[in-house]
């Protein structure tokens, strides 16, 4: 595929897998390079592979009848994209699109299901992740319903900063408007306000976080709640893949 194998410990969900379970999965992983804007699945398509992102970030977007869009979930280094579909209908819930280019470890649904059927600890971990993902989605729906756009925008920027582990993010006003489900003009006003407050700096095609503490204070409570969910689940397993060489 032309991708250099990224250490699987980069993905925090894989880092939480017990070493004996990871050894069973490892031969079936394929390192892939994901391009920005690449659509992995369209709504209703059969999900054949599960992706564990490293540097890449993937969004699940709901496409409305009028052409409007709304972000449903984001999958980065603490996630597994396609896992929930893999245990249900196998159909994609929406459009899975790569928002930030990077690498991921890909495994077929069949191989992953075989492994978790044979390994109770792996099954519990993946079920725990599914519960966290549902709680994350619940929090996101609440956030979109009751919190102002400025707080939601701060939450989104902070989540992406956490996923890619860098302060400069390749974000445009159009992209943020699509993710937040608002007009581009609304995002432009919010970004100007955040820059005036010295929380961010906008450049052509990117936004740099200059005061992440202040940004957290401006964000709604949802960012902290979601981070707590993942921290409780994604504790690296002693002797797990983060301690192995590849």
The domain that holds 34 is classified in CATH as 2.60.120.10
Taking the chain (246 residues) in runs of 10, the rounded mean pLDDT of each run is: 47 90 94 94 93 92 78 84 77 90 94 93 90 83 88 90 86 84 91 96 92 93 85 63 39
Lateral strand order in the sheet of 168-169: 168-169, 206-209, 200-203
**Angle, CA 131 vertex, CA 126 and CA 137 arms, to 5°:** 125
Q: What is the pLDDT of residue 237?
A: 55
Domain boundary among 76, 95, 117: 117
Instruction: Spell out the alpha helix ranges (H) of the chain.
Output: 12-15, 19-25, 83-86, 109-118, 120-146, 149-164, 173-180, 184-196, 212-218, 222-233
Do 22 and 63 lie in a common domain? yes
Do 152 and 105 lie in a common domain? no
Residue 105 and residue 50 in contact, taking contact as beta carbons nearer than 8 Å: no
Structure tokens at 139: 């929090």
Q: What is the pLDDT of residue 238?
A: 56
| Residue closest to 223 by CA, chosen among 169, 150, 174 | 150
Do 36 and 112 lie in a common domain? yes
Containing domain of residue 50, as a range? Answer: 8-117
**Residue 22: beta bridge partners?**
none
Number of domains in the chain: 2
């Amino acid at each position: 595929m032309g991708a250099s194998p990224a250490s699987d410990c980069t993905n925090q969900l894989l880092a939480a897998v017990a070493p004996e379970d990871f050894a069973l999965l490892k031969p079936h992983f394929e390192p892939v390079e994901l391009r920005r804007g690449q659509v992995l699945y369209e709504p209703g398509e059969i999900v054949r592979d599960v992706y564990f992102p490293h540097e890449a970030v993937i969004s699940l977007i709901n496409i409305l009848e009028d052409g409007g869009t709304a972000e449903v979930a984001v999958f980065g280094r603490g996630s597994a994209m396609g896992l929930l579909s893999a245990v249900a209908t196998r159909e994609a819930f929406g459009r899975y699109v790569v928002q930030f280019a990077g690498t991921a470890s890909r495994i077929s649904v069949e191989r992953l299901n075989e492994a978790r059927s044979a390994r109770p600890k792996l099954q519990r971990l993946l079920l725990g992740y599914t519960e966290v993902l549902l709680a994350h989605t619940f929090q996101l729906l609440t956030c979109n319903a009751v919190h102002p756009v400025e707080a939601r925008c701060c939450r989104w920027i902070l989540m992406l900063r956490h996923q890619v582990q860098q302060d400069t993010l390749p974000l445009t006003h159009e992209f943020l408007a699509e993710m937040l489900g608002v007009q581009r003009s609304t995002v432009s006003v919010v970004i100007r306000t955040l820059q005036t407050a010295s929380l961010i700096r906008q450049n052509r095609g990117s936004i740099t976080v200059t005061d992440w503490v202040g940004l957290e204070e401006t964000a709604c409570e949802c960012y902290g709640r979601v981070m707590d969910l993942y921290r409780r689940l994604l504790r690296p397993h002693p002797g797990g893949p983060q301690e192995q060489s590849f």
